Structure 1
Amino acid sequence: MEKSKVKQTDISVIIPAHNASDYIERAIKSIITQTDMSWEIIIVENGSTDDTYIKSMKYAEKYSNINIFQSEKGVSKARNYGLKKATGKWICFLDADDYIYPDAFNEIYKYMEDESDLILFGHNSETHMVKGKCVKFDGNEEYQNLRCEMIKNPTQNMTVWGKLFKHQIIEKNKIEFDEQLELAEDSDFTFRYMQNASKALRITSQLYHYSKDNASTVRTYKAGSEEKYIKSLNHTKEYTIKDTKEIQEAYNQYIIANLLIILVHDIYCHENPESSKQRRNHLKKLVRENIFSEAIKNIKFSDCRNIRMIPALCLKLKMYFLTIIMIKIRVYQNTK
């Protein structure tokens, strides 16, 4: 008699957890309540000095589809370890301080199609889910336009959370997080994954809660972070060589978007002890770096019509005074 096949788990939720004692239970509970698709939770505690592991173990002991592992410190190492342990058809990355809204999987299930390679869904920092519609990108031109759109606005689109990645594509193409990168490593992963995919669904419903109630890596001032960004940008740029002209042009905007992140969150951050003159000199030195100077040189004036890219236009015209004013406005807006 032929043995019946065991149905594959729908979604593997990978949660890297480092000193996440205050949040980890909230993240776990947000998955436990999900219905309509089968799931497993893979928690990878990495180098915590609090009781993250103990709190996670309480749930691992209670639920057979919750597993906890330990890895060396580093979010990329934790996510890679989680990928090795995952058994689901789809991979969902959840940061330990974030959570999925109730009925999120139910909303995804309504639109899910097996032939899609990537499923995108919205996020917010509110207290509730907002429902939307679904858009398909199943033609080559449509899919490439989607890629360009995402690359141009990385802070909103290139994170690994807020997405479902097809496990088979990750395994077939040996895609993993580069453990040598300390910043923008998730954008690098998303970029390389999308090079190996061809169809996507965008569910405009906001299903993922992005928390602002903690000190994240991006929002915390750390002197010298630009060197880590430059390393990541140069690394990902190597993969654009085999891509289309449109993707390469979009990557110029990606580079400038990251430059603006450095200016807002580091150079002109309130916690930066440098004087005004030192910051201005720091800015000028930064834009002379090859990765940034080339992007500024190659950016088209038509690309700067979006309000997000106006500082890029000022940099292109060497209008540093106006650039600094706009950066300071963004810094102020981030503190509100």
Structure 2
Amino acid sequence: MFIITPFHNIKPYFKTFKRNIASILELDSVEMILVNDHSDDTSNQLMTSEFNKKGNVSIISCESEGVSAARNFGLNYLYENVKNYTNSWVTFCDFDDYIEKGLIVGFRENPLINKYDYVLFGYSTDRLQLDHKPFFSVKPFEGVDLGALAIEGPFREKNRTYNLNSPWGRLIKLDFLRKNKIFFDEKLTFREDLIFNLTIFAHSPKAGIILRSYYYYYLNPNSVVHSYIKNVIQQNRLAYINIKKFTDKMQDEVKKNLRLEFLKNAFIQSIFVFVLPKGRHNKYFLSKKRFKNLRMDAIFEALWRTDIDKSFKNKMNKLLFYLANKRLFLPIYVMIEFHNFILRKKTDDKN
């Protein structure tokens, strides 16, 4: 099993990263590909000094910038250096997250996993909810629309949480990616993970699921999903072009619902990374201008002609959408700024 982990300026997190991967590096059935994404601090030196002599760690430096380019660089490195693609598997792990050892041990002891192309495993933001023991079987994941699940977001199965629109939380057969020429879209810095998975699903992988949670997802306040993304409107448009391609041959009603589901989620997420991002002091009038630009973007026109707000499971998101539909920015500003204040306080308390 290969684990691709891009890193960029991770010096403050290096000790935690080193501790998190220590147990899995004890296993000879795993190899980590650490991809330096143009770090301008001492991250690369730290990685090289600590792991260069490890037989199951490769440290490489990406030529292009961005996490998508770094992941693709890791994939191409494997294509050039792995001799047996057939039963080789790859997964991705962010530098501030980690994978429980039980996944690698279970993978090593269950050769029947090789009848699949794409295998899901659960994740949690709570370390105490992770499984430590190896899994004993992989269940077929059939009779579901993988693309629809990815667009809709995380889902629950047997008391575990899974996410089909992330790069992590799944094992993918390397030969499947290689022969179908599947890579991350390097033009995207937002929603690229969803498009990557939809591209996989378009090639009809044989999917399985492990009913255990092995991936710890750290809610990093400095990550992309919590930071300001200046070009989010352009990113949404690019992603929507891919969504339309993916749904083009579906029945009209299914096509319409999936596209609306994507737009709904994209709009809400854009509020948190463009209009009122968590890691900034957001001035009211500037935020209001960004909100107006977002709401008036052509790709979201269809949202305001539907009653899609009834489909929201999250009460806060439902209220946000209702207020946006009514063009009521002041209560949105107050609600999210208070929400962001509470989250920042929790983060500061932990630190």
For 1:273 and 1:302, the matched residues in 2 are separated by 29
Count of matched residue positions in the alignment of Structure 1 and Structure 2:
319
Cα contact 1:42–1:67 (8 A) shared by 2: yes
- Contact 1:57–1:68 (8 Å) recurs in 2: yes
8 A contact 1:184–1:232 mirrored in 2: no
Among the aligned pairs, what percent are the same residue?
Answer: 24
Does residue 209 of structure 2 align to residue 202 of structure 1?
yes
Aligned partner of 2:36 in structure 1 is 45
Aligned to 1:293: 301
Per the normalisation by structure 1, the TM-score is: 0.80
Conserved 8 A contact 1:41-1:66? yes
Q: Does 1:14 align with 2:4?
A: yes
What is the DSSP-based 3-state SS (H/G/I as helix, E as strand, rest coil) of the residue aligned with 1:208?
A: strand
Going from structure 1 to structure 2, the CA distance change for 1:267 and 1:42 (only over 3 Å counts) comes to same
Separation in 1, partners of 2:307, 2:68: 31
Q: Is the 8 A contact 1:185 1:232 kept in 2?
A: no
Residue 282 of structure 1: which of 262, 284, 290 is its match? 290
Distance apart, 1:136 and its partner CA: 4.0
Match of 1:252 among 221, 241, 260: 260
Q: Does 1:82 align with 2:74?
A: yes
* One-letter amino acid matched to 1:273: N
Match of 2:130 in 1: 130
Of the three residues 310, 316, 329, the one matched with 2:318 is 310
- Which residue does 2:45 correspond to in 1? 54
Structure 1 contact 304–312 (Cα < 8 Å) conserved = no
SS of equivalent residue, structure 1 residue 236: helix
Contact 2:122 2:215 (C-alpha < 8 Å) held by counterparts: yes
Cα contact 2:7–2:34 (8 A) shared by 1: yes
Match for 1:63: what amino acid? K
- Distance in 2, matches of 1:165 and 1:260, equals 30
Structure 1 gap segments, 5+ residues each: 1-10
Q: Offset of 1:119 from its aligned partner?
A: 1.2
In 2: Cα distance, 1:228 partner to 1:20 partner:
28
Q: Does the 8 Å CA contact 1:16/1:45 hold for their aligned counterparts?
A: yes
Structure 1 residues 98 and 66: alpha-carbon distance in aligned structure 2, compared to 1, 3 A threshold: same
Letter paired with 1:31: I
User: Aligned pair in 2 of structure 1 residues 213, 284: CA closer, same or farther (>3 Å)?
Assistant: closer
Q: Which residue identity does 1:150 align to in structure 2?
A: A
Q: Secondary structure at the match of 1:106?
A: helix
Displacement after TM superposition at 1:327 (Å) = 4.7
Distance 1:153 1:240 in 2: 16
Q: Does 1:33 align with 2:42?
A: no
Hey, what's the Cα distance between the residues in 2 that align with 1:312 and 1:248? 22
Residue 99 (structure 2) aligns with: 100
Please, which runs of 5 or more residues in structure 2 have no aligned partner?
155-161, 347-351
- Note the alpha carbon deviations across 1:276-326, whole angstroms, 9 max, x for none: x55345323312212222244356466346647524751685363676666
Deviation at 1:153, TM superposition (A): 1.4
Shift of 1:152: 0.8
What CA deviation, in whole Å up to 9, does each residue of 1:181-217 have, x standing for no partner? Answer: 1222122111111221343223242211112355111
Aligned residue identity for 2:98: Y
Query: What is the CA–CA distance in structure 2 between the aligned matches of 1:130 and 1:188, rounded to whole Å?
Result: 27
